[in-house]
Amino acid sequence: MSGAVGQPLARYAAARRAGGFLFLSGVIAVDPARGRVVSGFADLPVDVRASLGETGEFSIDIRQGPILAQSWFVLNRIRTLIEAEGGSMADTCRLVQYFRDLRDYPLYARVRRSFFPDAPPVSTVVEVSAMLPSAEVLVEVEATAWLGSV
């Protein structure tokens, strides 16, 4: 993995290929270009915001925006990492999803369905008390993809 797409926040590999498997470290919604955690719809491309459910109503968007935006950002980053290795999201066979608050899971699941419209990968969901680098991080996802034999 090279370039900003796969650049981890600490000293570890963002991804590692082992035979036909691609293992991705936990991905969080930190925009490397700006060096900050994605905090809502305004941090996403305009064409994505409406598809995620941005309403323009402050009272709704302020509550749902952070988890919807972070969910999309994380899953899109996973897609980018897998595609950089020659695969696609359909090659994803396993996800482990960590949430600061499991009440965010239904909104995340709605976004996840858009990335896996046909067959979802096997999945583990866990609630944790904290994630790095800050309390603003609501979800972290690690993935395993099968890209075939080398």
E runs forming strands in the chain: 15-18, 21-27, 30-31, 36-37, 92-99, 122-127, 139-146
Q: What is the pLDDT of residue 4?
A: 46
Q: Could you give the domains of the chain?
A: 20-133 (3.30.1330.40)
Tens-digit pLDDT profile for residues 16-53: 999 999 999 999 999 888 889 999 999 999 999 999 99
Extract the tokens encoding 83: 């595609």
1 CB contacts (<8 Å, ≥6 apart)?
Answer: 13, 14, 15, 81, 84
State the pTM of this model.
0.90
Q: Inform me whether the pLDDT recorded for 97 exceeds 70.
A: yes
Distances (CA, A) of 2 to 57, 123, 149: 39, 27, 22
Q: What is the pLDDT of residue 7?
A: 55
109 CB contacts (<8 Å, ≥6 apart)?
Answer: none
